[in-house]
Amino acid sequence: MSHEMVKLSCAEISTLWTLYLNNSMSVYVLKYYLEYVEDPEIRKVIAEAYDIASDNEQEIKHVFWKEQYPLPIAFSENDLNLKAPRLFSDTFKLFYVLQMAKIGMVTYSGCLASISRKDIRSLYQTFLLKTVDVFQKVTDLLLEKGLYVKKPYTTIPSSAMMVESTNYFSGINPFVDKRTLNTIEVTHLSMNIETNQIGMMLSTAFSQSAMNEEVREYMVKVKSLAKNHIHTFIQTLTKDDVQGPMSSDFSITASTVPPFSDKLMMFHIGLMSAAGIGNYATAAAASQRSDLVIKYEKLSSEAALLAKEGADLMVKHRWMEKPPSTADRNRLAEKPQEL
């Protein structure tokens, strides 16, 4: 049986639906970025990211049409205001593309691993490879410009070592000294500082440009939470005399004119929150000191509660699309039979 004759599975439908919304949002964010970018090298990578998001959206749209599956509403020109003044610096845009490429690589690889139909696998593989290419180019450009936020360094050990005691995993017992952070833990703490910095800057920009008062208030809460989490991670590093990653000089302007609809901004923050919670789960699983695991669980709960508040707000204003669902057999059974 050819792959064209095989119906889309739940995994294939859900991933196509999710990726369509994500790429649709990215198209309009990157389109706005291109309106106000001065550095020609930064413009080039943003333009490439825009073309990829646009192509991906069209590829997924073609699959929906071919399968005669309802197309998600997603986003349109109504969610973009190209007449809005400059809101983000060029440097921030470059870091933004880097962060979205990281999210894209994780998302595409996860989607690829969950589906079986050959044509969809081929499609996701193409998406992943294009995203990896953008990640490489943005990283190279940041390094060339001296803007890349480098991770902390450490001394090189003289030899390989074994864990000699279960105290290695201690962290919450006040009667047992905490060991110093290992390089795996330092890496995750550093990465979560960087991602929260992007989230903090993005929510700051959205808080001053959103039209709806509830959205503005929500963005302020997101900004505050990101700032608190950054402080927690930096404090954890500095206790072990490890320097946290230093953010580069990226900024937002004082413009209060919204470049994006409130719907798009809320969706975007929801996407960033979901990615952040996923990062915390990965970090908790990789960390071997018990206090770090508990800390990540606490921060994840805080992020999840705030994300739920955002989802409620989106439902209230009819901004949230319902994901494809399975049939409600009980409800169908209650329906009067048609002759």
We report the CATH number of the domain holding residue 226 as 1.20.1260.10
Residue ranges in the chain assigned as alpha helix (H): 10-35, 40-66, 90-114, 118-144, 183-209, 213-238, 262-286, 290-316, 329-334
Amino acid identity, position 208:
Q
Q: Could you tell me if 55 and 4 are in contact, meaning their C-beta atoms sit under 8 angstroms apart?
A: no
Does 138 share its domain with 249?
Answer: no
In this structure, the answer to whether residues 188 and 226 fall within a common structural domain is yes
Q: What pLDDT is stored for residue 185 in this prediction? A: 96
pLDDT at residue 150 in the model: 78
According to the model, what pLDDT value does residue 249 have? 63
Low-confidence ranges of the chain (pLDDT < 70): 1-5, 175, 247-249, 327-329, 332, 335-339
Q: Does 2 map to a domain?
A: no
pLDDT score of 126: 98
Q: Are 70 and 174 contained in the same domain? A: no
Instruction: Determine the 3-state secondary structure of 260 from DSSP.
Output: strand
Q: Range of 198's domain?
A: 169-316
Query: Is residue 126 in some structural domain?
Result: yes
Domain count, the chain: 2
On whether the CB atoms of residues 192 and 279 are closer than 8 A, the answer is: yes
